[in-house]
Amino acid sequence: MRLTVWIILFLSVLGPGALLANEPADPTAPRWGFVASRSSGTTQYTLSEEFEHPFHPGTLSDVQSEFEFPLDVVLIGFTAAWDLATRTSRRWGGAVRISTNVTDPSKKATKGSQIENHRVGYRESVAELSMIVSTVDVSFRLTEGERSTLSLLFHYDYQNIRHRLTEFDGWYYDPFWQNGANASGEEPVIEYAIYYASPQIGAAGAFCPNEFSRLALQASVGAVYASCTDNHFLLGRYSQGSGWGLGLNSRASIDLLPGFVKLDWLWAGLTLELFYFHTEGETDRRWYTDTYLPAGTEINNIPHETESFQAHIGVSVGASF
C-alpha cells in the first residue's frame, strides 16, 4: 500500500512536465523528482552499567550491553532543488530531500552482553523498521568559473528510526553462578526508537563538463542531538535517554540535466550519500513488571552511546519547471 501511494505521487509530479513547451530548460530552474535508494549500515546503542557482585556485597562489576540495529532497506521519496535568488545574482540555492523505507531489513538485529570484558550473552532477532530520512541544503555561491562553482553550505539532517524486534535466538551465561543455557522464542522482544537532528556547515562544489551534465560534491560537519527510547518487553522495562555528539555528511552526485534527451523537461541523477552520527548521554530506566526487578524500580543516569554509519546509493528522475 505504501509503495502504491508513492508511485501515484511520483506520477503526479512528472505529469505536468509533459505539457511544457519544447524549449531548452534552464539548468538552474526548479527541479522536482522521485528518488529511490538503497540504504546500508547500522545504528548501535551501547549501555554501560555497574552491577553488584551477588557474593560480595559492595563490590561492583562493569556490565555493557550493545544493540546493533540493521538499516539495509530500500527507500523511496521526493527531492526538490531550486534557485532562491534573482536571475541577476543566482548566489543562493536550496535543496530538500525526504524518503521513507518500503522494505524491512534483510539482516537480523543483535545484542551482545559483557561483564568485566567477558562475553556473557548474545541474541539475534528479526527486525521490522520504520524510517524517515530528510535533508535540507542551503548554499551560497562563493566563486564561479566557466564550468565550476564553489559554495558555502548550510546542511541539516533529520532521521527518525523505529525498530520492532520479534523472535529471538541466542544464549546466556552467568559467570557468578557458572551456569548458562540457550534461549529462543517468537514473542516480541524490543521496540527501539531514535531520532537524530544535526545542523552542519560545509562546502559544496559543482563541475559541468557540458550543458547537459553536472558532477556535484559536498561535505559538512556539525553537532547532532539524539533522543532514544527502548521498551524491552522480555525484561519488562522502559528506558529513555538523550545525548549530543558529532554529525557528518558527504554527498556525490552525477546529474543529467534537462535537454540530455528530446524530452527537454526531464532530468535524472545518480547519488551516493554518507551519514555518520555519534552521541554520548545518559539513560533513565524503569521496570514496569516484576520479571527482573520489582515493578516501579528506577535506575537513572546510565551512561550510553549511540553510533550510526549509513551509505545511501540512489537514482532520481523528475521534471524541471
For 141-182, give the DSSP string: EEEE-SSEEEEEEEEEEEEEEEEEEEEEEEEEEETTTTEEEE
3-state secondary structure of 31: strand
Place of cell 532477532: 125
- Give the up-direction half-sphere exposure of residue 317: CA atoms within 13 A in the CB hemisphere: 11
**How many folded domains does the chain comprise?**
1
Reported pTM = 0.85
| pLDDT at 177 (0 to 100) | 57
The answer to whether 214 touches 257, Cβ cutoff 8 Å, is: yes
C-alpha cell at 268: 535524472
Give 226's contacts (C-beta < 8 A, 6+ positions apart).
194, 195, 196, 197, 242, 243, 244, 245, 277, 279, 281, 306
Tell me how far apart the terminal alpha carbons of the chain are, to the nearest angstrom. Answer: 29
Query: Residue 28: its pLDDT value, please?
Result: 58
Q: What is the reported pLDDT for 283?
A: 94
- What does residue 288 show for φ and ψ, rounded to 5 degrees? -115, 0
Integer Cα distance of 123 and 109 in angstroms:
8
Cα–Cα distances in angstroms (integers) from residue 179 to residues 57, 120, 175, 182, in the given order = 21, 10, 7, 11
Query: Nearest Cα to 278, choosing from 229, 223, 213, 211?
Result: 223
Would you say 282 and 321 are in contact if contact means Cβ atoms under 8 Å apart? no
Contact in structure between 251 and 273 (CB atoms under 8 Å): yes
Residues 241, 304 contacting (CB under 8 angstroms): yes
Domain that holds residue 82: 2-320
- pLDDT, averaged per 10 consecutive residues of the chain (321 residues), comes to 44 37 50 93 87 58 85 96 60 93 95 80 93 96 87 97 91 67 83 97 92 90 97 92 97 84 81 97 93 86 94 92 69
The phi, psi pair for 181, rounded to 5°, reads -170, 165
Category of 311 on φ-ψ map: left (φ > 0), alpha (ψ -120 to 50) or beta = beta
Residue type, 288: Y
Q: 3-class SS at 80? A: strand
CA–CA dist 165, 124 (Å, integer):
9
Measure the CA angle with vertex 308, ends 101 and 35; round to 5°: 30
Quick check: 198 and 277 in contact, CB under 8 A? yes
Give the per-residue pLDDT at 179. Answer: 62
- How far is residue 136 from each of residues 67, 93, 281, measured CA to CA in Å? 29, 11, 26
In 3D, which of 257, 259, 229 has the Cα closest to residue 242?
229
Provide the CATH number for the domain around residue 172: 2.40.128.90
CA atoms of 222 and 278, how far apart (whole Å): 11
